[in-house]
Structure 1
Amino acid sequence: MPLTDEQKRLIQKSYAEIDRQSSNFAAIFYDCLFAMAPLIRPMFKSERPVFEYHFNELISTAATKVFQFEEIKPRLVVLGRKHRGYGVTPAQFDVVRSALMLSIQDCLRDACNPAIEQAWSSYYDEIAKVMIAAMEEAPAP
């Protein structure tokens, strides 16, 4: 089900709040991800600052362009194909969603609410759907 305009506004507003904070959202995200799924860590071949930078860039673009999702789809297709080459499986997207949601909750604290969580969860599902489709169409590594 597509996001409503209200959900899109919640994503932009909540991300702006996360971005304003001094904490490193990517670091929080990867701390959550690696704690929840330590077997994923070896899939990351580059240094942590590199993949944190790429995560911050992607999440910032996704939040900024939530009203123009079609514009970021080509980038998500490329990213999905790359993830297949890294050995990522569609099932791993669930743990990534959980890590993302915990990170959002941690950063927003009392400002987080069920409406924000639902908006982000739905948006993540849209992003994951595009990436997974690209992974499944890509040739095996």
Structure 2
Amino acid sequence: MALTDEQKQLIQKSFAMINRQNSNFAGHFYDCLFAMAPLIRPMFQSDRPVFEYHFNELITTAVAKVHQFNEVKPKLEELGRKHLEYGVKVSQFEVVRSALLLSIQDCLRDASSPAIEQAWACYYDEIAKVMIDAMQQAAP
């Protein structure tokens, strides 16, 4: 289901709030992910600052382009193919979703709301679908 304009605005506003806090959102996300799914940790071969940087780059671009999602799709498709090479399974996207939503809730604290969480959940689902489709198309 496509995001509404209101959801897109909620995503951008909430991400701006997270950034204003000067929190290490990527670090928080990976802390949540590795706590929820410790078996995923060995898939990350590079140093933590490297994959945190890439996460920040992706999430910042995705939020900035939430109104122009088609412009982000090629990068997401490429990322999906890379994830296949790293051994990522489609089933692991659900735990990533949970870690992302928990990170958003934790960073926003009282500013979080069901509407914000729903907007992010829907956007994550759109992003994941593009990546999963690319993984499935690239699979042998």
TM range (shorter): over 0.9
User: Alignment RMSD, CA only?
Assistant: 0.6
User: What is residue 74 of structure 2 aligned with on the other side?
Assistant: 74
Q: Distance in 2 between matches of 1:134 and 1:128?
A: 10
1:133 lines up with 2:105 in the alignment? no
Residue matched to 1:99:
99
* Superposition map of 1:8-19 within 5 A: 8-19=8-19
Amino acid in the other structure paired with 2:37: A
Gap regions ≥5 residues in structure 1: none
How many correspondences in the alignment? 140
1:129 Cα offset (Å): 0.1
Q: Which residue of 1 aligns with 2:29?
A: 29
CA offset at residue 139 of structure 1?
A: 3.8
Moved segments of 4+, more than 4 Å: none
Shift of 1:28: 0.2
Structure 1 residue 22: Cα displacement: 1.7
2: CA distance between counterparts of 1:20 and 1:57?
16
Deviation at residue 20 of structure 1 after TM alignment: 1.1
Secondary structure of 2:10's match? helix
TM-score by length of 1: 0.98
Instruction: Tell me which residue corresponds to 1:45.
Output: 45
Taking only the aligned residue pairs, the percentage that are identical comes to 75
- Which residue identity is paired with 2:56? N
Partner of 1:121: 121
Gaps of 5+ in 2: none
